[in-house]
Structure 1
Amino acid sequence: DSEAARLRLRQATAQAWIALRAAQELIDAIEAQREQAALAIELAKARLAGGRGSVVDAMAAQAAALDLDNRRDSAQGQLEAARAALARWLDVDPAHLAASGSWPDFAALPTSEAELLGRLDHQAALLPWQARSDLAQAAVDVAVAGKRPDWSISASYGQRSRSPGGMRRDDMLMFEVAVGLPLFARNRQDRDVAARRAELAAVEAEHEDARRAQLDTLRETLAQWHAMQRLVARKQQQLLPLAHDRSRTALAAYRGGGALQPWLDARRDELELEVEHTTHLSELGRAWAALAFLLPTAETTP
């Protein structure tokens, strides 16, 4: 079904863009930490040169920077893979794609949840089933029509010559009525009708199974969408700001003569939280795209 294919294409394209945007956001977060790491290395070297630091601290600061370099390379690989996936769906050169633009409002759908739940047969997964049901019904109609006799009528005109005795014979106009009666209709054609009706019933039963499966999938996706909204909002509004403040505070304390380890711990925890956040943001985006592009009337783009 062309409409179902179009919906799947739009959904896949949106999800590929979301993966690309999430990878870029992770790279941006890592770059911000690399600036802190570079400052920590300078501070460690300065304290070591001034006789107030230790070689261990200097090496630990350098190791933290190298870890961030590795993380950035890994994130860059994810970015390139996401760019290639999106380019494949858009049929463009990956070099022309940039992870720019703001996130869609993942808290809003183009259609209400009630409409999604009430229009199952209009969703991409179920669109082909109506054509299958129509085809099975047409097969039943053909089988039933085959039981009716075929009537036909024909006419012919014959011009007759004179008889051997010299008498002229009248011309002849003939009508012929034919009735095609199927033989053994009770056995052969009744079985054919019954078979076609059984096929229609099977298609309708499979359609109902597909409808129930789609309803289950829709409810699960809605539940995931709601859960991920809460999780992402909590990280954006509370956990990430706290992690950023802790990291900056720990680095400022080290600059003021404090220990390096609190900053190393804070940096590590902040980075893990950033990675977790982009993962959850991607999951939220995928759930949103799965819902936003279910119906043909949805015209939302990321």
Structure 2
Amino acid sequence: MNTPSPRRAWCAAVLGCLVVPFATAGTLSLDTATNLAVRRTPLLDARRAQAESARQEVRRAGALPDPQLTVGIDNLAVQGPGAFTAGGDDMTMRTVGVTQVLPSSAKRGAQRQEARARVEVADADTVATALLVRRQAAEAWIAVSTAQDEIAALNAMHRSLEADVDVARARLRGGGSAGDVLAARASVLDVDNRTEAARGRLAQARAQLARWLGDDARDDLAEAPDYTRLLIDGDTLLGRLDDQAALLGWAPRERLADAALAGARAERHPDWSIGASYGSRVRGLSDMVSLQVGVSLPLFTRNRQDRGVAARLAEVDAIHDAHEDARREQKAMIQAALADWRSLGEQVRRQHDDVLPLAEDRGTVALAGWRGGGDIQPLLQARRDELAARLDDVRLRADQARAWASLAFLLPQGTTP
């Protein structure tokens, strides 16, 4: 009975956290969307197949090479009456033998080390891919939610402008200006065009979400999570860089480079071989048995094995330095994302608490002025400004959501509320 390796058990546990059970409700939450994406994407199936391939390689790594069967004729005469005949000389033998090459234990150990490192790389790629799928599914969900919010804001403005058109027509019947009706109607048509464009963006966003969820992308969206609260605090993210998706594969790749270095150093160790053969001679003469032992001679290591060791050492240094650079890049990315998320949080708060109420008040004042006999243009401008403020609010909340998502799916245990 095979006992699962600690690395394999770790990978299974992490994926178990990523693919948690979800409830089939009438609405599609962001959490459900990300879990469905992980369950259904064929990309993860491909990564798991690659990991299984690497595990199969472990089982044969370090094994002895296949033995060699040899068949031939020894001591064949080339002159005289029995030339080139199997019975032409007493020394001629028909031989059959087996040879087994025995690579050094250092080489076989390096092969096993390399195979195990490849499993770690494949497992890390699987977990990183699962996190990437979750993030991309979340971004698609956010895009759908944003388009819906944009359409809702445009529809609300459409209703307000239609009410203005109705009032303008009523005033026209009482001797008001036909220009007011035309101006209000033009504003309605402008909003209708923008609404149609927003519907196009919604269709595109749903198509992208369907890339991960299939038909479930058509479901109504549930309420968005609280984007003002990070799932994992910034200090934890900055303190666990190597556990994040972008860096998960680097440590296994360093171990893979170390294994390649061990293999290069093992080339300095000689390989052995043993062989046995049986020789059959002409009738009346004794058959023969031969035993052989061979050893490779790494005599010119300076221009052969030492060059390989130097090359593998350079690769180890290169991967180590690249890992350090990736760690710094990831740290800078997190710091920038945290700053962006905090800034957007303040902008969303200010937009909601200050800008939107001000725009609504301006619209109320302009409407009162128009209904009191004033010109309609200040009202229409106030409507445009209010719509711009509402769409800016939608955009800012979408930017905040994307900044939140960029930080939510960095670590394997990150889940949405």
Q: Normalising by structure 2, what TM-score?
A: 0.64
Distance 2:357 2:143 in 1: 23
Q: Given that residues 37 and 64 in structure 1 are in contact (C-alpha distance below 8 angstroms), is that contact kept between their aligned partners in structure 2?
A: yes
Provide the secondary structure at the position in 2 that maps to 1:209.
helix
- Map Cα deviations across residues 30-81 of structure 1 (whole Å, 9 max, x no partner): 1111111111111111111111x11111111111111111111111111111
1:127 corresponds, among 248, 253, 257, to 248
- Map Cα deviations across residues 92-111 of structure 1 (whole Å, 9 max, x no partner): 365x233x322211111111
| Partner residue, 2:346 | 230
Q: Does 2:223 correspond to 1:107?
A: no
1:191 corresponds, among 284, 307, 322, to 307
201-210 or 172-181, which moves further after superposition?
Answer: 172-181
| Partner residue, 2:237 | 116
Q: Does 2:219 correspond to 1:97?
A: yes
1:177 is displaced (CA, Å) by 6.1
Provide the secondary structure at the position in 2 that maps to 1:102.
coil
Structure 2 unaligned segments of length 5 or more: list them: 1-124, 280-284
- Map Cα deviations across residues 182-215 of structure 1 (whole Å, 9 max, x no partner): 2212331111111111111111111111111111
Q: Given that residues 87 and 97 in structure 1 are in contact (C-alpha distance below 8 angstroms), is that contact kept between their aligned partners in structure 2?
A: no
2:377 corresponds, among 261, 281, 287, to 261
Q: Does 2:249 correspond to 1:142?
A: no
Distance 2:276 2:171 in 1: 117
Q: Given that residues 154 and 194 in structure 2 are in contact (C-alpha distance below 8 angstroms), is that contact kept between their aligned partners in structure 1?
A: yes
Q: Name the aligned partner's letter for residue 259 of structure 2.
A: A
Q: 1:191 to 1:239 in 2, by over 3 A?
A: same
| Partner residue, 2:73 | none
Q: Name the aligned partner's letter for residue 325 of structure 2.
A: D
Distance 2:277 2:140 in 1: 73
| Partner residue, 1:35 | 159
Q: Given that residues 132 and 203 in structure 1 are in contact (C-alpha distance below 8 angstroms), is that contact kept between their aligned partners in structure 2?
A: yes
Q: Does 2:163 correspond to 1:47?
A: no
Q: Given that residues 225 and 416 in structure 2 are in contact (C-alpha distance below 8 angstroms), is that contact kept between their aligned partners in structure 1?
A: no
Q: Name the aligned partner's letter for residue 242 of structure 2.
A: D
1-10 or 253-262, which moves further after superposition?
Answer: 253-262
Q: Given that residues 83 and 97 in structure 1 are in contact (C-alpha distance below 8 angstroms), is that contact kept between their aligned partners in structure 2?
A: no
Provide the secondary structure at the position in 1 that maps to 2:186.
helix
Distance 1:146 1:123 in 2: 36
Distance 1:251 1:43 in 2: 11
1:28 is displaced (CA, Å) by 0.9
| Partner residue, 1:286 | 402
Q: Larger relative contact order (C-alpha < 8 A, sep ≥ 6)?
A: 1
Q: Does 2:127 correspond to 1:3?
A: yes
Q: Given that residues 238 and 331 in structure 2 are in contact (C-alpha distance below 8 angstroms), is that contact kept between their aligned partners in structure 1?
A: yes
Distance 1:18 1:93 in 2: 15
| Partner residue, 2:149 | 25
Distance 1:11 1:254 in 2: 49
Q: Given that residues 147 and 185 in structure 1 are in contact (C-alpha distance below 8 angstroms), is that contact kept between their aligned partners in structure 2?
A: yes
Aligned residues: 291
Q: Name the aligned partner's letter for residue 10 of structure 1.
A: R
Q: Given that residues 341 and 404 in structure 2 are in contact (C-alpha distance below 8 angstroms), is that contact kept between their aligned partners in structure 1?
A: yes
1:238 is displaced (CA, Å) by 1.5
1:285 is displaced (CA, Å) by 0.9
Q: Name the aligned partner's letter for residue 17 of structure 1.
A: W
2:317 corresponds, among 198, 201, 222, to 201
| Partner residue, 2:137 | 13
Q: Normalising by structure 1, what TM-score?
A: 0.87
Distance 1:79 1:176 in 2: 77
Distance 2:133 2:184 in 1: 46
Distance 1:232 1:211 in 2: 31
How big is the alpha-carbon RMSD for the aligned residues of Structure 1 and Structure 2? 2.7
The structure with more helix, counted as a fraction of residues: 1
Provide the secondary structure at the position in 2 that maps to 1:106.
coil
Distance 1:48 1:153 in 2: 110
Distance 1:173 1:29 in 2: 95
- Map Cα deviations across residues 136-166 of structure 1 (whole Å, 9 max, x no partner): 11110111112123456789999xxxxx9xx
